[in-house]
C-alpha cells in the first residue's frame, strides 16, 4: 500500500526577517513498507518527522530525495496527485478544519461531489460512511451541535465516502477529551478489521497504539525503532531515550520489576497487569 525508499525532505528555515538560517532535513533516508490492511502507528516527539511523512503520503509535500509510492502511484508525479489523495485520505488534528457544510450529511457528501460521483451513488456512500462511524442518527444535525469526538468521526466519514484504500490520521485525537479519543480509536479499529482499510495513525498518546499491528518510532527524521507494540514497549529505556513515554500500566510494571516483582516485559493493558499480579 505504501512503500518509501530512502525518502528525504528538506526545507529552508528562516528568521523573523526572512533571512535564511539553514536547511532542515525533516526526513532523512526513510525506508518504509506498509501492506494493505495493516494498522500502523507512528510515534515521535515534536520535530521527529512523523507529520512530515503523513504529508508526503498525501502528496501535500514532494520528496526532496528518494521515492514514495502510494497504492502503486508515485507521489512525485504531478499528474497522479489527486489519485494519490483519493487512495490515501487524510484526517487532521482539528475536525473543524475539515468540516465545510452546515449539515452532517452535506459535509460527508462534499468529497464525492468533488470527485464527480453521480448523485445516487453519493447518497449510498454517505449512508455507508455515516453508518460505519456510528453517526447515521446525526445525518441531519449541524456539525456545530456535535461533540469533538463526534465531529472527528464525521471528518473520518467524509474521507470514507471517497472510498480510500488507506486513511492517514495526523494526531486526530489531540484536541479531544478522553471520551472522544476512545470513540475515534474504536472507529479506526472497526474500519480496519471490518472494512480492510489500511490505517496509519500518527499520535503522541501511547495508549492509542497498543492495538496496532506495528509501531514505528521516529526521531530526527529517521525510523529508529519498529515492531509490535509489545516489542516496542518491552524496551522502556530505549523508548525514553527518544523523548517518549510508555503506557502508564507498562511503566508501572517496569518500575515494580525493579523492586523484585516478576511482570512479563511489555505489559500493555490493565487486564494483563492484573493477571500477571495475581498469577
**Could you report the per-residue pLDDT of 266-278, keeping only the tens digit for each?**
899 899 999 888 8
What whole-number percentage of the chain has pLDDT above 70? 100
- Could you list the residue range(s) of the whole structural domain that residue 72 is in? 2-225
Q: What is the tens place of the pLDDT at every residue in 56-95?
A: 998 899 999 999 999 999 999 889 888 888 888 888 888 8
Nearest to 25 by CA among 260, 220, 264, 231: 220
Name the residue among 42, 23, 29 with its Cα closest to residue 232. 42
Question: At residue 31, does pLDDT exceed 90?
Answer: yes
- Which CATH number goes with the domain that contains 102? 3.40.50.300
Residue 235 lies in a domain: no
Q: How far apart are CA 224 and CA 48, in angstroms?
A: 10
- Do the domain assignments include residue 252? no
Q: What is the pTM of this model?
A: 0.87
pLDDT of residue 241 exceeding 90: yes
Strands 214-219, 222-227: pairing is antiparallel
Is the alpha carbon torsion for 133, 136, 142, 148 positive or negative?
negative
> Is residue 219 assigned to a domain?
yes
Residue 21: pLDDT above 80?
no
Within a domain: 246: no
3-state per-residue secondary structure call for 2-14: EEEEEEEEEEEEE
Total number of domains in the chain? 1
3-class SS of residue 225 = strand
| Cell reading at 54 | 503523513
Q: Is residue 268 part of a domain?
A: no
In a domain, 103, yes or no: yes
Q: Look at residue 205 in the predicted model and tell me its pLDDT.
A: 87
With respect to residue 262, please indicate whether it lies within any of the assigned structural domains: no
At 100, the pLDDT band (50, 70, 90 cuts) reads confident
* CB contact burial 247-263 (16+ within 10 A = b; e otherwise): bebbbbbbebeeeeeeb
Q: Please give the pLDDT value at position 252.
A: 92
- Residue 185 lies inside a defined structural domain of this protein: yes
Cell of 214: 506495528
Amino acid at each position: 500500500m505504501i512503500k518509501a525508499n530512502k525518502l528525504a525532505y528538506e526545507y529552508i528555515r528562516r528568521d523573523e526577517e526572512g533571512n535564511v538560517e539553514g536547511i532542515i532535513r525533516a526526513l532523512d533516508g526513510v525506508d518504509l513498507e506498509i501492506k494493505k490492511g495493516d494498522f500502523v502507528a507512528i510515534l515521535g516527539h515534536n520535530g521527529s518527522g512523523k507529520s512530515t511523512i503523513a504529508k508526503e503520503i498525501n502528496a501535500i509535500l514532494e520528496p526532496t530525495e528518494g521515492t514514495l509510492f502510494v497504492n502503486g502511484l508515485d507521489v512525485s508525479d504531478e499528474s497522479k496527485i489527486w489519485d494519490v489523495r483519493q487512495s490515501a485520505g487524510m484526517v487532521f488534528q482539528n475536525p473543524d478544519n475539515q468540516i465545510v457544510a452546515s449539515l452532517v450529511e452535506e459535509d460527508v457528501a462534499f468529497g464525492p461531489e468533488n470527485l464527480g460521483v453521480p448523485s445516487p451513488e453519493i447518497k449510498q456512500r454517505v449512508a455507508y460512511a455515516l453508518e460505519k462511524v456510528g453517526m447515521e442518527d446525526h445525518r441531519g444535525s449541524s456539525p456545530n451541535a456535535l461533540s469533538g469526538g463526534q465531529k472527528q468521526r464525521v471528518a473520518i466519514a467524509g474521507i470514507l465516502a471517497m472510498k480510500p484504500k488507506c486513511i492517514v490520521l495526523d494526531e486526530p485525537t489531540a484536541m479531544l477529551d478522553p471520551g472522544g479519543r476512545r470513540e475515534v480509536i474504536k472507529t479506526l479499529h472497526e474500519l480496519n478489521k471490518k472494512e480492510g482499510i489500511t490505517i496509519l495513525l500518527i499520535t503522541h498518546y501511547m495508549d492509542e497504539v497498543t492495538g496496532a499491528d506495528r509501531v514505528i518510532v521516529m526521531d530526527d527524521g529517521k525510523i529508529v525503532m519498529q515492531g509490535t507494540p509489545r516489542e516496542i514497549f518491552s524496551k522502556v529505556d530505549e523508548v525514553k531515550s527518544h523523548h517518549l513515554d510508555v503506557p502508564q500500566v507498562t511503566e508501572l510494571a517496569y518500575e515494580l520489576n525493579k523492586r523484585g516483582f516478576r511482570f512479563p516485559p511489555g505489559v500493555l493493558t490493565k487486564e494483563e497487569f492484573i493477571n500477571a499480579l495475581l498469577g
